[in-house]
Amino acid sequence: MDKILQGIVASEHTEGVKRAVISKVLSSASSQTPDEQVQALLHLSAGWICEEESLFLQEVGQLTFEAWACHHKEALQNYLCKSFLVTVFASEVKYPARVLGFVKECLRIVSDPDGACQLIQRQCVSLARDYPDLGPMAELSSLLLDYPLCIPDGPYAVGLLQYLIKNLSRLNAPPTEGDQRKCLADVALVSKAVGAIWQRNIQAIAPSLVCLFEVISQVPQEDTAPPPSPALACLVQFITKDIVDMVTKRVTADANISDEQLKTALIRIVDWLSWPGVRNVDTWAVTFFVNLAAVKKFSILIHVTIATVESVFLKLSFPVVRGSAFAVFRHMMLSFQHSPEAFHKITNLVPGIISKLQDENTVSSRECCKNLADLLYTLMYHFPGYPEMYLSVIESIKSYPIPPEETMKSSLLQVTWAASKNHFGLSSKFAPRSETGKAGLVNLGNTCYMNSIIQALFVIKGFREEILNFPHSVSKQSIMLQLQTTFAFLAHTQRAAYSPDTFLQVSRPPWFTAGAQQDCSEFLKYLLDQLDEEESSLAKLLSSPAPVESALKPSTSGKTVSTEESRSSIHPVQTVTTLVQKHFGGKSATSIRCLKCNYISRREEAFVDIPLAFPETDASSRTRGLGGGDAKKRPCPDVAVCEPEELHEAQKTVDLEQAHGSGHCLMRDEALTPDEAFAYQVSTSSQGSRQKDLEGLLRHFFNPELMNGDNQYHCDSCSHLQDAAKITHIVEAPEILVLTLMRFSYDPVLQKRCKIQDHVILPKNLHLPRRNSDGESRPHEYPSEDEDLEMALPEVKKLKSVEGDKTSVEYSLVGAVVHSGLSSESGHYYCYGRTDHNDESLVPLEGIRDEQWCLFNDDRVSGSSFESLRDISSRFRNDTAYVLFYQKVGSNDARHLSNTAVRSRFQDMVAKDNSDYLQEQEREARNTTSSRRSISGTNPWYKDPDDSNEPPGGCGLGGGGVPSGHLVF
């Protein structure tokens, strides 16, 4: 029969005639035929099916094989197991995919395929090895899926998987659409087969993933094969998330795997996103990113992000890969916070992608558009200061609402590489950043007086932004330049705290002793004076040909600045309005009326702060004006001096304990021992503590004063010393009102300045009285306040409060520097700052919306509240508000962007430092891997300062009651 068929197909008849004849021959297949004849027919037809190129012969072979195989299944079983499967793969097969398809058809027909499956099982590895093309792999995968008994076990399963992985990595995508669809279907078959093999051989997962990593981590060399195909993504989609996490952790922590290999592997995993229709690719990529960050491999993350961010972003326009691509893109953008480089690489692509998504107008594209808009707003919020670059971005997403600021902050804190506390050692250099997102300042040795002032100024948004955008930088020794640098790092550093070494060097007053505790109010006045002087000098020099460099060096390198001069808060009226004058500058008018001739002299003077004395200690300060009068008559602008002469009336031999009971500061001949001094200091502070309110101190400040006795006024009209009445009022209210509570007075018992511990009630909102400056050019006529003087100074010369001011200016509290301790020479300063006044205008704080406050305690920053500041003295007796910062309600200082804009020079400086910091952490992690310890809950560096339990400390005598001289740094 086989010879007849061979003759028919070899004849010269037409195919139609041949088919008719063959059909008659095939009709006899159901009749009884000897086994030898059936075996010959099966062998003949199998050859035509598997080896011939002619479609006619393939068709005849298929018809012949089916006819005899269906009616002679036992003969088929023998042929398949004893002949075909034993010999077919012994030599090279021309069409392996056809052969595997034929085998699957045979298994479908035979009664008992188990024997044949066992033979196939033994040959799977060699089949995958010898025939690596996608067609044979797909047919083999289909065979394994339809007949699981063919799946090998143990090491054979591992071998098969390794060959499938290597074969698929060499896949080249076909150019035509039809071929591409077939390719995708075949790869999906291989993927399913790999999943089936893993399901039957769980122990084979790990070695096959090792093989996969070896393939994707092979560092490319010149003139070598192309990179592995992204089709490998199909193989890993069945791996569960916990296994993904475990595998990537092991890989990133393996010391035998180089950084170059990790970098190459991650780039190729990201490239997997381009293969459509697979799951969990984003899980692999994001988990790899996270675990690389956990071991401080920041250089790899930076390189991969920069290299791949554009291609990932462009994938958002393809619906089939959009979900995975956006998940990876979002993680890349939100984690890359140290520099805007990655974000800026895709800004020019945003309009095109948004346009494509909107044109598509599907559920997927609309959701992607909204999520992308939220992400872009967050990135522009985090990297401000590039309006031209962001113009097209804003225009393309303007129809989408800006997310709340807290939402954007939360997104940034969740993903940043440096956000996790669990991945840092004990070194304070690499401490985690505060959960508030704000950076602290390193204490450089009793420099809390400087840190608290910097942090208080930093939270004043308008002043901060104008400092950062000050257009001129001349000398490195310029205080303005160093303040800009410090503000830029506080705004954008990834470090937990910035070390202001250079700022300290250029801004420390020449009379301040390095390493000693100083008065923060005195430092603030000096700092503002120097900033004002630098800007004024620069304004003059810009219009002159003189070199600018030499003129902007601090006064300490040129002329000698006296203590009294630098401490004065009086500023002469200048033609150039400096930043200090714009934000802190106010103007007061002081009128003095001669009580004999009624001649009135009037003087206006600028001020940057108002020193508020406590009435009981105001023996001499009440004779001075707002600016402090003659600064040479007082050791410090915020000291209410108890003159020694007044104290000499007391008995010098009074026992120390009588002095305690009397409540007065008394001298005695002998010097006190340190223990006696401390006991006396604590005793007097506790006995003399009373409660005041800030409005009362302001009223006391503006009360009329009587100038008589030794303090008589020299009247120009009388040309003689006369009794006089003096009154001061505000004619121009500053944008930022600085109030200094004069808490430090000279105690002759301790022979040093001591602290007035009175608790002052701080209002959230404050009304500053202000009068118009009418009549200021006519001193001989009575100005508007003259009637007040007549009322306030009758013949008995008893002063009383002035009431009925014409206008008042409303302020809201935005910051306060608190002093913890018993004297100005010891203790610790820290700062409360209101951080929520970033809206279009500052509004009063009477319950309109939630307040956000931070407590800045050198390098530690924590969330706080106004109530904490208000009640601090009632909870910690030695912690008292000292310098207060009130911002004018509706002030232009609050109408700024929702985040700090920084000049590009400082952006680049901070970005470079952030990159250096990430690499420092990476090196530190490598050096300390073997000795890393878990973070102790009692470690003071990591302990968040909970101001409801302990007052913050760290620079001297604080609420804990440490004796002076035992400074805590």
What is the token pair recorded at 477? 């020794």
Cβ neighbour number for residue 27 with a 10 Å cutoff: 10
Rounded to an integer, what distance in angstroms lies between the CA atom of residue 692 and that of residue 673?
A: 33
Helix (H) or strand (E) holding 739: strand 736-741
Residue 275 structure tokens: 């293969």
Helix then strand then coil, % of the chain, to nearest 5: 50, 10, 35
Which letter does DSSP use for residue 280 in this model?
A: S
Q: Locate tokens 């994938």: which residue?
A: 315
* Alpha carbon of residue 78 to chain centroid: 72
Q: Using CB atoms within 10 Å of the CB of residue 663, give its burial: 0 to 12 exposed, 13 to 18 middle, 19+ buried.
A: exposed
In this structure, the dihedral spanned by the alpha carbons of residues 408, 409, 413 and 414, taken in order and rounded to 10 degrees, is -40
Instruction: Spot the catalytic one: 72, 759, 828, 837.
Output: 828
- Residue 228, burial from CB neighbour count under 10 angstroms (0-12, 13-18, 19+): buried
- For residue 556, how many other CB atoms are within 10 A of its CB? 17
- The tokens for 69 are 């195989």
CA 576 to chain centre: 38
- Residue 517 is classified by DSSP as -
Is position 234 annotated as part of the catalytic site? Answer: no
The token pair at 968 is 């805590």
Question: How crowded is the C-beta side of 516, counted as CA atoms within 13 Å?
Answer: 11
Kindly provide the b/e burial profile for residues 349-383, where b requires at least 16 CB atoms within 10 angstroms of the residue's own CB. Answer: bbeebbeebeeeeeeebeebbeebbbbbbbbbbbb
Half-sphere exposure of 757 (CA within 13 A, CB side): 23
Which residue carries 């904490």 as its tokens? Answer: 868
Structural tokens at position 372: 């992308």
Catalytic residue among 234, 368, 448, 831: 448
Instruction: Return d(Cα 817, Cα 520) in angstroms, integer.
Output: 8
Structure tokens at 12: 């010269």
Question: DSSP per residue over 782-826, as a string?
Answer: --TTHHHHHHH--TT---------SEEEEEEEEEEEEEESSBTTS
User: 843: buried, middle or exposed (CB in 10 Å: 19+, 13-18, 0-12)?
Assistant: middle
Residues 308 and 315 sit within 8 Å (Cβ to Cβ): no
Q: What does the chain come to in residues?
A: 969
Report strand pairing: 691-693 vs 759-761.
parallel
**What are the residues whose beta carbons fall under 8 Å from the beta carbon of 376, sequence distance 6 or more?**
350, 393, 397
Rounded CA-CA distance 324/305 in Å is 16
Neighbour tally for 93: CB within 10 Å = 18
**Token pair for 827:** 């203790």
Compute the distance between CA of residue 35 and CA of residue 883 in angstroms, rounded to an integer.
110
Question: Please, what is the angle between helix 479-492 and helix 461-468, to 10°?
Answer: 110
- 150 catalytic, yes or no? no
What DSSP state is assigned to residue 720?
E
Structure tokens, 97: 């995919």
Supply the DSSP string of 238-283, one letter for each residue: TS-HHHHHHHHHHHHH-TTS-HHHHHHHHHHHHHGGGSTT-SSHHH
Nearest Cα residue to 412 out of 370, 374, 385: 374
Of 283, 215, 219, whose CA–CA distance to 248 is shortest?
283
Q: Give catalytic residue positions.
A: 448, 828
